[in-house]
């Protein structure tokens, strides 16, 4: 009986040992990760998506002057009164009111911000026979501000609620860092300052009434110097 020739055993190099050790640690990490996920009761993403669905279903398309308080952060209401100066109506373009809000001065590079307000149901209300005061309070609003607060904290949520003015840039990236649980609500201090003033005679019974009376006509209503002066005076009174 022949005895098989014993093959020569290769020596294991240090590099092979290191690779084996690395593979073993990676395998252990994978196992530990699976164990961690299994031990976690529920992913945070699940509760977050539930919150998002609730917020959007509850508030979608229902921002009006009447319900605006639901969307305002108390801290930003205080900032609007204490930090901001004045605002004025700069013009109307494509049925959107453009307001210039003087900056608080905390950001020197931005002396002012643009706030856009659209009243979306006016034509329908005009056909129903509602007067300009009723239409102002009941109309669904489209809101936008050029400030960073709106850009990074609120534009995503306002996009989801379909509450941006027509033609505004939509934000589809979730605010996972700046406002993930809507703890800051939905509007900035500049929007708060403007919208809290719109149901005043200086705006409601002057430029807005003229605009509403001609909403079904092709010609655009012009903003006069008197309209600008009235809104400046109005903003000063609101701050007190």
Q: What is the CA radius of gyration of the chain?
A: 29
Tell me the per-residue pLDDT of 173-207, one tens digit each, with 9 for 90 and over. Answer: 998 888 888 888 999 999 999 999 999 999 999 99
| Domain spans, the chain | 59-239
In tens, the pLDDT along 50-79 reads 555 555 555 555 799 999 998 999 999 999
pLDDT band per the 50, 70, 90 thresholds, residue 109? confident
């Amino acid at each position: 009986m022949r005895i098989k020739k014993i093959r020569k055993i290769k020596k294991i190099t240090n590099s092979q040992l290191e690779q084996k050790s690395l593979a073993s640690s990676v395998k252990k990490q994978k196992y530990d990760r699976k164990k961690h996920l299994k031990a976690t009761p529920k992913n945070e993403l699940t509760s977050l998506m539930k919150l998002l669905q609730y917020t959007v279903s509850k508030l979608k398309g229902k921002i009006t002057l009447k319900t605006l308080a639901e969307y305002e952060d108390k801290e930003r209401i205080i900032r609007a009164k204490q930090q901001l100066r004045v605002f004025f109506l700069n013009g109307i373009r494509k049925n959107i009111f453009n307001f210039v809000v003087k900056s608080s001065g905390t950001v020197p590079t931005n002396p002012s911000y643009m706030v856009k307000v659209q009243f979306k149901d006016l034509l329908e209300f005009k056909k129903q026979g509602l007067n300009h005061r009723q239409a102002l309070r009941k109309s669904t609003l489209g809101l936008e501000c050029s400030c960073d607060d709106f850009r990074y904290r609120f534009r995503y949520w306002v996009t989801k609620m379909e509450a941006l003015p027509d033609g505004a840039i939509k934000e589809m990236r979730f605010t996972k860092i700046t406002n993930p649980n809507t703890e800051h609500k939905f509007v900035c201090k500049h929007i708060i300052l403007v919208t809290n003033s719109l149901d005043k005679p200086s705006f409601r019974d002057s430029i807005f009434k003229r605009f509403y009376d001609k909403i079904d006509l092709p010609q655009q209503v012009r903003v006069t110097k008197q309209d600008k002066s009235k809104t400046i005076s109005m903003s000063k009174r609101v701050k007190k």
